[in-house]
Amino acid sequence: MEKILEVKNLKKYYPVQKGIFSKTSDSVKAVDGVSFSVQSGKTLGLVGESGCGKSTLARAVLRLIEPDLGFIFFKNKDITKLSYKEMKNIRRNFQIIFQDPFGSLDPRFTVFAIISEGLINFSANTKKEVIYEKTVKAVEDVGLSKDILNRYPHEFSGGQRQRISIARALVFSPKLLILDEPVSSLDVSIQAQIINLLINLQKEKGLSYVFIAHDLSVVRHICDQVCVMKSGKIVERGETSQIFANPTNSYTQRLLNSIPQINLHSTS
Amino acid sequence: MMKKSNSSFKRGIRKLKQHKLAVFSFWTLLILYLSALFAPIIAPYHYETEKRAFSYAPPSKVHFIDSKGKFSRPFIYRRNYQFNEFYKKVYQEDKTKKYPIKLFVKGDSYKFLGVLKTDIHLFGVDDAAYFNLLGTDSRGRDLFSRIVYGGQVSLSIGLVGVFIALIIGVLVGGLSGYFGGKTDTLLMRLAEIIMVIPSFYLMLSLRSVFSYSLSSLQIYFIVVFIMSFIGWPGIARVVRGMAISIRQREFVLASRALGGSHLGIIRKHIIPHTFSYVIVAASISIPGYILGESALSLLGLGIQDPYTSWGNLLSEAMAVSQIQLHPWVLIPGIFIFITVMAFNLLGDGLRDAFDPHAEFIKK
């Protein structure tokens, strides 16, 4: 099967500066030599505790922050060294959904301006009617009504905002979505709605996902393959069913054991 | 039709209206600015009209009750002067004839807004008398008229100067904060170099770069340039700080992922978020510009006679003896005071209404 995204030995270090002359004494290895690949049309899960470098990895892969070392291939094309302008043409192929639905939408933009921003950036000469139609389509695809287009983000709940984020990402039909903990700040019933929406969209549009999460039950539900991350490194990888059935790495075992379970018989 | 939701701007305006002092200041400023705009109509005389015989005439007494004790429309008497034993002019009213204050009288002709030639003034008296609401200066020019005309310079320099300083400050701050690194270091060190020089010395030395004898319009623009040159670094520094915090927000990252160019992101996502601060900073820094112009003109380096600005008018009040003998020469200072106060109070109100961070400080 075709690899849509491949990451090789990616590194991102943050220097730790000490003293009055900002001497770089040490560095935080946020992402420390990570390699993985995503198959076209599949979902790769990235799990790990908070602070293990998942979000940094997500941003480095899209070159929203610059990785220090390593290679990123999109459809076998190396995009690591492309300039910011060259990246623009590639960017329409992949998008990112952020964890915080309150921080990821510009509070001064209307929903219409938020969703159409990418459309306008990628195809400057598109007619206004076309942009409007596509925006309406994107809003309806994520289960919202087109009446919301003239409203501002602060008027929506977290779940609705996350739907707006998804509409913004999907409006120009990218191939790959990086979901950076898209549901972890929502409540449980809304989480299920958003997850189901993502699964449906994947089926309809043939999208590939990189799904970043710390909630393993969600990962089990949505992912085909899973990578387990710890302190910037991938410690275990494999098919979802296999990892959940018999994890080999001790960290993965502990992670799996930490899923709260309701055992009705033990207390009686 | 879809109803457009309330933006944060409308909410800010609503909050501003609850701030009584700010509203009062706003109307005060509006009156001052309108009077500067309509100066040729409001001023009973042209700013160059001088009657040497009436130098340092005190403010005319406006009478409402005539010699027979009857209530009448406001009027003044013609004044004559004699020299007392110290050769000081003493003005006395000649009570033989009343000169009623009339509305829309003919007087000195002028071109309104540079096109409309007319000679109508809002109020005035017949030519035989000299009506000085706020007295006259050393050359017998009507102080009230000169204050109204002077407002054109003093009030507009604040607005124009702040506008230029804001454009430079916001641009430099936005670029510096967004790009960081070497751009940031370079631009901020430049700003700091300007900031560490005491502003008054910088003002004087900048003024000395330009020729001393220039037309009044040239001097006006030089003063604006000097003031905004001194003003932008302060704004740039704060905008930079805001840009640094905004560039890390997720909507900026999202915009990058959406193919936004650097300059586009700065323009659409970074700079608009600094507006709440910028509006407040503008209204609070305008007094600085007005005072700076006054200081330059007071020293004779700004607007030159016969043109008038409030600072230039105040230069007559530099000697203590002048203030003792003719206290009304201080009146331009009162106008400066009112304007500066009003801008500060309006700025306070704007900050409460628009700057979300300020609320925490207040409570």
Q: What is the pLDDT of residue B3?
A: 45
Supply the ipTM of this predicted assembly. Answer: 0.86
The answer as to whether A267 is a domain residue is no
Judge if the upstream peptide bond of residue A174 is cis by omega within 30 degrees of 0: no
For residue A59, give the chain B residue with the closest CA: B253
The answer as to whether A265 is a domain residue is no
Residues of B in contact with A168 (CB under 8 A): 254, 258
Between these two residues, B30 and A66, which has the higher pLDDT value? B30
The answer as to whether B291 is a domain residue is yes
Whether residues B254 and A104 touch (CB distance < 8 A) is answered with: yes
Amino acid at B35: S
The pTM score is 0.80
Distances (CA, A) of B60 to A26, B6, B130: 80, 53, 8
Residue ranges with strand state E in B60-140? 63-65, 71-83, 89-100, 102-112, 116-124
Amino acid at A144: L
Q: What is the pLDDT of residue A268?
A: 45
Do B101 and B107 meet the contact criterion of CB atoms below 8 Å apart? no
Residues of A in contact with B7 (CB under 8 A): 108, 152
The average pLDDT across A104-114 equals 89
pLDDT band with cut points at 50, 70 and 90 for residue A267: low
Task: Write the pLDDT tens digit of every residue in A153-208.
Answer: 888 888 899 999 999 998 888 889 999 988 888 888 888 888 999 999 899 888 99
Which two tokens mark A21? 């002359």
The average pLDDT across B327-334 equals 89
For residue B253, give the chain A residue with the closest CA: A64
Residues of A in contact with B261 (CB under 8 A): 84-85, 88, 121
Q: How many Å lie between the alpha carbon of B154 and the closest alpha carbon of chain A?
A: 35
- Which domain does B257 fall in, by range? 8-37+147-362
CA angle centred on A135, ends A132 and A139, rounded to 5°: 140
Residues 148-177 of A with CB under 8 A from B: 149-152, 155, 165, 168
The answer as to whether A268 is a domain residue is no
Quote the number of domains for chain B.
Answer: 2
B155 lies in the same domain as B189 = yes
pLDDT band with cut points at 50, 70 and 90 for residue A217: confident
Q: Which residues contact B229 (CB under 8 A, 6 or more apart)?
A: B194, B206
Q: Does A118 touch chain B (CB under 8 A)?
A: yes
* Pick from B3, B5, B250: CB nearest A103: B250
Q: How far is CA B290 from the centre of its chain?
A: 5
The average pLDDT across A71-96 equals 88
Which two tokens mark B168? 């430079």
Task: Write the pLDDT tens digit of every residue in B72-90.
Answer: 888 888 888 888 887 778 8
The answer as to whether A263 is a domain residue is no
Whether residues A91 and B272 touch (CB distance < 8 A) is answered with: no
Which two tokens mark B326? 């003719």
pLDDT band with cut points at 50, 70 and 90 for residue B7: low
The answer as to whether A266 is a domain residue is no
In 3-state terms, what secondary structure has residue A161?
helix
Q: What is the pLDDT of residue A263?
A: 67
DSSP class of B45:
S
The average pLDDT across A107-121 equals 88
CA angle centred on B124, ends B121 and B128, rounded to 5°: 125
Per the listing, tokens 């946020």 go with: A30
* Pick from B3, B255, B273: CB nearest A108: B273
Q: What is the pLDDT of residue A178?
A: 92
Q: What percentage of chain A reaches a pLDDT higher than 70?
A: 96
Closest CA to B81 of B115, B51, B107: B51
Q: Does B181 touch chain A (CB under 8 A)?
A: no
B204 lies in the same domain as B236 = yes
Q: What is the pLDDT of residue B236?
A: 93
B12 lies in the same domain as B90 = no
B221 lies in the same domain as B103 = no
**C-alpha to C-alpha distance for B251 and A108, rounded to whole angstroms:** 11
The CATH number of whichever domain residue A45 belongs to comes to 3.40.50.300
Whether residues A168 and B258 touch (CB distance < 8 A) is answered with: yes
B358 lies in the same domain as B303 = yes
Q: How many Å lie between the alpha carbon of A103 and the closest alpha carbon of chain B?
A: 6
Q: Which DSSP string do the residues of A29-73 spell out, in sequence order? A: EEEEEEEEEEETT-EEEEE--TTSSHHHHHHHHTTSS--SEEEEE
Whether residues B254 and A152 touch (CB distance < 8 A) is answered with: no
B257 lies in the same domain as B312 = yes
Does the pLDDT of residue A262 top 80, yes or no? no
B61 lies in the same domain as B108 = yes
Q: What is the pLDDT of residue B356?
A: 59
Q: What is the pLDDT of residue B1?
A: 36
Minimum mean pLDDT range among A125-134, A252-261, B227-236:
A252-261
**C-alpha to C-alpha distance for A183 and A192, rounded to whole angstroms:** 9
Q: Does B3 touch chain A (CB under 8 A)?
A: yes
Residue ranges with strand state E in B266-334? none
The answer as to whether A251 is a domain residue is yes
